[in-house]
Structure 1
Amino acid sequence: MKKLQTWSALTLAALLTACSNNDNLTPSPANGHYTEALLFNTSVTNPDGKSGVAYMQAINDTTSATYNNRNAEPIGYETALVVQGKNIYSMPSFMGGSKSEVTRWQLNAQNKLVKQAALAVPAASGAAEVLEISATKAYLTCQGLGKIIVFNPQTMTKTTDIDLNSYARTGAVNVGPAAMVKRDGKVFVGLSQFDNTYKAAYKSVDLVMIDAQTDKVEKLITNETLGLSCATRPIDASSIFVDEQGDIYIMCLGAFGFNSDYPGGIVRIKKGATEIDATYRFRLDETAIDGLDVRADYVVSSYYAGNGLLYAYVSVGKLDPKFSENPYIAIVNCPVTIDLKTQKITRIKELPIGNPYSTGVCKYKDIIIWGSTNKEATGFYYYNPTTKKVKNAAIKTVGFPGFIYHIKK
């Protein structure tokens, strides 16, 4: 098999051009120790799409294969995987049915997932994202509690809470801390502000800024002029990031496409600033998609490639007439590129449109890997943005491929 660390760019380009199943074999590492891996999760849903089971596993190569879940580790359903350096965090199920703990894992030399320790959390905590502040301090956002749990990632023991419920909007179930990013010693935390139907309770983009040393909230950051709401997607760490210029970009969910009065979009906080840039208006309801005759509702997941370029899945509810009846199984996830500088969105026509559970996007060397469940196949597709060549469902999975991450040890 072609092991990750032995693949050259030339070999990969040849694979993508020819899409051959007869690639020459290359040996395993001489010492049996892998330095890279692909980590991914899969969801096996019940017929209604609302419930099921989920798994994660790591693989050593990108050769065509089918992976079942016999050697995978069970994780919480409808939750995030978070990678922080060598640490991998899995969350309990949002809807219950799994043990209420956040687990820290690492990969051993053979890329087997090894449980390190676990942090017990309250039932229905809605544990969403982890951000490591230092070797001995990390933040865990808890949607259901309206709090951030501060804990020691080495021992997985709680230190304190940061209670954010005082920032909840009228009509919100609670403040809903979501995805986070650290810049210049401050942690910027998106606030969901969902009502009891998981839609925006108020038309505002809200975040809090926390001092990473003292764990004190220094300010509420808010904007009501851009018409956007629900800052960051709670189970997607890529929904807030710092670019190479030092600007923070934040994906806003609105009403997930269920209410046109609450559109999705993207906002930014410029380098050195602590307020949302009111001059940067990037609303998806105002932005045509080149190659598609309908507009996007929100950014589902993404990979930032630098120079203002996002490879992303956007949800386009109008692509499936049955979207409002059962959004869990609708075919609405469209692969696109998003130019954050020009605010241009372009459909990647070489890739299929998939269902909402298949959201994985990551970069490996010269390719972008996309998880997709569509009308033809389920698995990970390899896309070379230079040649536009695609290898369809190169890695087939049992279950919807919802996350993928290229880990360098």
Structure 2
Amino acid sequence: MNLFKKNNTRSLSLSKGLVAATMSSALMLAACGDDSSSSSANDNGSSSGDKYLLSFMMEASQFVGTASLSDNQAKVVEDFIEAPNAGGVAYFNGSVYVLATDDAMNSTLSRYELDKDGNMPAKASATAKFQGARAIMMKFVDENKMYVEQSMGDAITALDPTTLKTTATIDLSEYIDEESGALTSVPGSAVIRDGKMFLTLSQFVDFNKFIAGPRASVVIIDVKTDKVEKAIFSDKVAAVGGMDDMNNTMSFVDEKGDIYFYSNASYCYVEGYKEGWIRIKKGETEFDKDWIFRMHDAEYDGKKTNENNLMVGGTYMGDGKFMGFFGSFADPSNFNNYEWQFVVVDVYKKTVEKVDLSPTIPWFAPSIHLDADGKSVLLGHADKKGGAIYRYDIASGKVAKEMDVTTGTAYYIVPMVD
């Protein structure tokens, strides 16, 4: 196993992310150091005894396994399994699911059934293949059904979560937004409410530059029948969701039953594309025509206006608050500057606030997960001092270190709860 050693720097070939799908970039990994704004988790009573599903990115791979956040990261990762870094990692009903894509866009879904101690076996209990579809997103309905989204196949596939046998395939090709010049539908972020899945479609109009469509597009699917009920559109923002939002968090349902969708307007590369949050209110199946939240207009870091945009990834924390990534790809040739900031977005108050961590690189979005008790958020971080996993306490807004990361980079941090 080719693992990173402390104080080494290596080049990572990253295929994660909408923009990174077309290029590689060098991610510098250094020895771990304390962030001056954070304290030890053990000093403030944060729990670190339970196991989590973790993955760490190293070169063109991610290493996946289960461990406690109090474990020695460099040691436990030696027993993790290796998978391509272009792929999703999830926990559901006592099993770990790894959905990964190779360079030819062929994808493999593997299910690893955990033992009574929460350990992950070396070999998968079941597998499924998706040829040439770039399938890296999963959505679980219940113990009898899950979906795999074929982002380059204009389809989503329903499977049995235990056997991984296909039970239905939903063709999305008839919902390609040809009126906007789309070449393919590209399913992305999804939420389920009242037995219906609201699935965003990125509607690619330019493969060379990976530009999504100029307007929001969502299909509504009955999860019992696997039938598309209708497609809806909005010109308030560009394409919502993300083609590889592997946490399914550019869309979320709040406590009121309202669904929120975010558009980063293809990272604001295209003149005229509009970013922002839009919503579908409880009981409705059309976009709310009277509500919009453009983060570019929100006060951030003392400024009334800004040109930053939220990256794919994050988690809904409740009470209208969403933790995500804020930054800019103003220089698209360099994706490794420590310029991105963890933020809390309040869609009710229409505000954006910094989290008390130093700026970091833009590849930690998959690490952001709400913990099992709903009181804190786990996230990966690195700066020039090194890397670590941190816990953000929602009530206090304080950040505490949970685990030093000296081998690779924290990629997924998933609570193992049903």
TM bucket, shorter chain: 0.7 to 0.9
Deviations 1:323-371 (A, max 9, x none): 31132x23333111111101111112x2122112222122345543221
Does residue 19 of structure 1 match 2:40?
Answer: yes
CA contact (8 A) 1:232 1:240 kept: no
User: What is the CA distance between 1:205 and its match in structure 2?
Assistant: 0.4
Is 1:152 equivalent to 2:163 in the alignment?
Answer: no
Residue 253 (str. 1) matches residue 264 (str. 2)? yes
Q: Given the two structures, how large is their TM-score scaled by the length of structure 1? A: 0.81
- Among 123, 129, 136, the alignment partner of 2:144 is 136
> Out of 316, 320, 327, which is 1:315 matched to?
327
Query: Could you give the per-residue CA deviations for residues 365-400 of structure 1, whole angstroms, max 9, x where no partner exists?
Result: 554322112222122123334455433473314222
Instruction: Kindly indicate whether the alpha-carbon contact (under 8 Å) linking 1:355 and 1:374 is maintained by their aligned counterparts in 2.
Output: yes
2:367 is the counterpart of 1:356: no
Amino acid at match of 1:277: D
**2:187 corresponds to 1:166:** no
- What SS class does the counterpart of residue 166 from structure 1 fall into? helix
Distance in 2, matches of 1:281 and 1:23, equals: 39
Shift, 1:248, TM fit: 1.1
1:211 aligns with 2:222: yes
Distance 1:363 1:27 in 2: 14
Contact 2:93 2:143 in 1 (8 A): no
Comparing 357-366 with 172-181, which one deviates more in the overlay? 357-366
Q: Secondary structure at the match of 1:161?
A: strand
Q: Across the two proteins, how many residue pairs are aligned to each other?
A: 371
CA contact (8 A) 1:367 1:384 kept: yes
Deviation digits for residues 64-102 of structure 1 (CA, Å, limit 9, x no counterpart): 7545631112223222223334343211226348x7321
The Cα offsets for residues 149-178 of structure 1, whole Å up to 9 and x where unpaired, read as: 122222111123111011112343410011
C-alpha distance in 1 between matches for 2:78 and 2:148:
30
Question: Which residue identity is paired with 1:19?
Answer: S
- Aligned-residue Cα RMSD (Å) equals 2.9
Tell me which of 112, 115, 126 is aligned to 1:105.
112
Q: Which residue of 1 aligns with 2:388?
A: 379
CA distance in 2, matches of 1:22, 1:211: 48
Distance across 1 between alignment mates of 2:391 and 2:52: 13
**2:39/2:401 contact within 8 Å kept:** no
The match for 2:15 is none
Aligned residue number for residue 117 of structure 1: 126
Answer 1 or 2: higher relative contact order, Cα 8 Å, separation at least 6: 2
Q: Gaps (5+ residues) in structure 1?
A: 1-15, 29-35, 46-51
Rounded to whole Å, the distance in 2 between the matches of 1:18 and 1:395 is 12
> For residues 228-279 of structure 1, what are the alpha-carbon distances to aligned partners after superposition, in whole Å with 9 as ceiling and x for unaligned?
3243452232222211111111222321243353243222111000011122
In 1, Cα distance between equivalents of 2:239 and 2:104: 27
| Equivalent in 340, 347, 358 of residue 340 of structure 1 | 347
Residues 261/67 of structure 1: CA separation in 2 closer, same or farther (3 Å cut)? farther
When residues 294 and 106 of structure 1 are mapped into structure 2, their CA distance, relative to the original with a 3 A threshold, is farther
TM-score normalised by the chain length of structure 2: 0.80
**Conserved 8 A contact 2:89-2:412:** yes
Does the CA-based 8 Å contact 1:263-1:285 persist in structure 2?
no
